[in-house]
Structure 1
Amino acid sequence: MDIQLSILQFFQSMRSPLLNVMFLVFTISTETPVVVLFTVMMYWCINKKYGQRILFALVGNITLNTGIKEFVKAPRPIGTKDLESLRVSTATGYSFPSGHTQTGTSFWVSLMSIFKVNWLYILGTIMILGVGISRLYLVVHWPIDVLFGWIFGIIFTLLLGKVFDYVDKEKNYSILLFILILFGVIAFFLNSIDYMKMFGLFTGFVLGYIVEDKFVDFSTEDKTKGRINFGSRTTKRSNRMAINIYRFIVGIITLGLVYIGLKYLKEAIMPYIVLDNMNLVNMIMDYIRYALVVFYGVAGAPALFKILRLN
């Protein structure tokens, strides 16, 4: 602990207005709004399979990270003598391992494993290191939290990537359902509201992926490729870009409405439910709410795109 404390004090001693801004940017880059915006853009508009692969790695890592946190229950350095933590509003829950670090690592390792280009390896490595170091600079995690955030992020992302590739190729959904059941068993023993929310994210992805794959099957590919087209290429590209823009706007607005609507629905229903174990009711409601939001993003929004002829 003394070595870890010394490391945090070292980063704290480096603080300056410029470094504060730089490391805040690193840490914000892995928070939910940023990650969601990029991932849904990839999934809905750029490349469906790449988006699904990244999303599967992200929800898997987030669920595993929360499960480990709730099992270990390690305290954060926030409030430790001689330490001053910054931006503590986003440093919720337990400390080990770092969620920001694992999420950022998962995101960039996913991109690197998909595209396999040198400049992305360099950028991804900088971002992965930057996010981890930012958590130390802000003094919201111990060094061991960041170290294992990197390790778990790399290992789990590569494993989840292999699982997704196999499932997507063989259409063997039983593997996803097995993992879902395994996470459900963990939820039963942890009895944690934070874990139930993340388990809801994973549930929403698994069910949404299966429904989309079997019944919706929307496409991000240009279906005019290979056809004789007497129009200009510029017009064709402009039309495709317009469709992607409309798709993203429709998707993100409706996704936000689903999220807000379910949140207010829960708040409206809860006062009318009177049971001995209200904590359990709250956990179940949050689980359903998070599962439905992700399910809509993965299967509902693509179905809407097809209905609106934005496919």
Structure 2
Amino acid sequence: MDILLFFQSIRSDILTAIFTTFTICTEQVAVVLIAAIMYWCIDKKCGQRLLFAVTGSITINSGLKNFFKAPRPIGSKNLESLRTETATGYSFPSGHTQTATTVWVALIEYFRKWWITLLGIIMILGAGISRLYLGVHWPEDVFIGWILGIFVSIIFIKLFDYVDQNKRYYILLLTLVLFAIPVYFFRGDELIKSFGLYTGFVLGYIIEDKFIGFSTQESRKKANIFTNNKTKPKLSTKILRFIVGIVTLGIIYAAGKSLQILLFADASQDVLYIIEYIRYTIVVLWGVAGAPFLFEHFGLN
């Protein structure tokens, strides 16, 4: 509490704007945009590793929150918490901190450039400290979020690389079964959604890898029988690919939400959990496999 009150004592308009920005950069919309741009437009392999690590990390974080059920500092005496709408669910460990750490460790490990490493360290530290500055997490929540983000990112990246190189898809399906066990016992809205995200990536990756195979990498196109010219996708093609992907993703998300409200408004909690799981699975499945299928179909590869 002394640490949280210290951050409260140094608040100013500038610092609040800075730390609010750090928090926003680790929320759902920002992470979706980063992953989508990376996977669809810049580097497919990096995007796959990033998505696998992030969806796995979010699922683990939600599971731990539902296991420990630790209360947040919000409402504590003398503490004025800010941006509490981003502080849903339980407190331990910090989801924003763990997600930011997972994302940036994955990017640092893949590109291995000094400026990405520096930016990543700033974003990781900023995300964690922002949760203390805003008064929505305890220090141990943030510290463990950092630790888990690092280890989960590294482990999931190594696991994905092994599966991708050896095409051992059954390993990913096995992780689904392992995750399903704690999800069944602990449940919770955020945990169900997170598991849906992870399931969507696993199924989407397998389908895309086996049957679609779109590429963001440099390709070879035969100019004539004697020569090969290397070509890269034009910037306009990448922009169009992003527009097609994000618009169709938004339509599927909104359509699923609308159908859930119309058809299952009075359903039991268990039925709602199942519907939420299916909805989030379909959304990510579309992003990972459905949108790339459109890229191939419309010549946006």
* Equivalent of residue 272 in structure 2, options 248, 262, 282: 282
Give the AA of the match of 2:192: M
Structure 1 segment 157-196 matched on structure 2, within 5 A: 157-196=153-192
Tell me the alpha carbon deviations over residues 118-169 of structure 1, each in whole angstroms, 9 at most, x when there is no partner: 2222111111011100000000000000000000000111000100000000
Tell me the alpha carbon deviations over residues 55-87 of structure 1, each in whole angstroms, 9 at most, x when there is no partner: 101001000000000000000000000100000
Task: Determine the C-alpha separation between the residues in 2 that align with 1:33 and 1:15.
Answer: 26
Task: Determine the C-alpha separation between the residues in 2 that align with 1:172 and 1:137.
Answer: 44
Percent identity, aligned pairs only, is 55
**Number of the residue aligned with 1:247:** 241
How big is the alpha-carbon RMSD for the aligned residues of Structure 1 and Structure 2? 1.6
Give 1:17 shift: 0.5
**Number of the residue aligned with 2:282:** 292
Q: Secondary structure at the match of 2:210?
A: helix
Task: Determine the C-alpha separation between the residues in 1 that align with 2:222 and 2:135.
Answer: 55
* Equivalent of residue 269 in structure 1, options 263, 272, 288: 263
Tell me the alpha carbon deviations over residues 92-126 of structure 1, each in whole angstroms, 9 at most, x when there is no partner: 00000000000000011000100111222211111
Give 1:191 shift: 2.7
Tell me the alpha carbon deviations over residues 26-65 of structure 1, each in whole angstroms, 9 at most, x when there is no partner: 1111111111111111101111111000010100100000
Give 1:224 shift: 3.5
Task: Determine the C-alpha separation between the residues in 1 that align with 2:33 and 2:242.
Answer: 9
Structure 2 unmatched ranges of 5 or more: none
1:302 aligns with 2:296: no
* Equivalent of residue 56 in structure 2, options 45, 60, 71: 60
**Number of the residue aligned with 2:11:** 15
1:153 aligns with 2:149: yes
Give 1:225 shift: 6.8
Structure 1 unmatched ranges of 5 or more: none
Task: Determine the C-alpha separation between the residues in 1 that align with 2:79 and 2:129.
Answer: 16
Task: Determine the C-alpha separation between the residues in 2 that align with 1:244 and 1:120.
Answer: 22
* Equivalent of residue 132 in structure 1, options 114, 128, 141: 128
Task: Determine the C-alpha separation between the residues in 1 that align with 2:183 and 2:97.
Answer: 23
* Equivalent of residue 88 in structure 1, options 71, 84, 89: 84
Task: Determine the C-alpha separation between the residues in 2 that align with 1:26 and 1:264.
Answer: 31
The TM-score with structure 2 as length reference comes to 0.96
Give the AA of the match of 1:288: I
Task: Determine the C-alpha separation between the residues in 2 that align with 1:60 and 1:174.
Answer: 16
Give 1:229 shift: 7.5
**Number of the residue aligned with 2:206:** 210
Structure 1 segment 93-108 matched on structure 2, within 5 A: 93-108=89-104
Q: Secondary structure at the match of 1:214?
A: helix
Task: Determine the C-alpha separation between the residues in 2 that align with 1:67 and 1:307.
Answer: 38
Tell me the alpha carbon deviations over residues 143-200 of structure 1, each in whole angstroms, 9 at most, x when there is no partner: 0000000000001110001000000000001111111001111111113222111110
* Equivalent of residue 256 in structure 1, options 246, 250, 266: 250
Q: Is the 8 A contact 2:66 2:187 kept in 1?
A: no
The TM-score with structure 1 as length reference comes to 0.93
Give 1:88 shift: 0.3
**Number of the residue aligned with 1:119:** 115
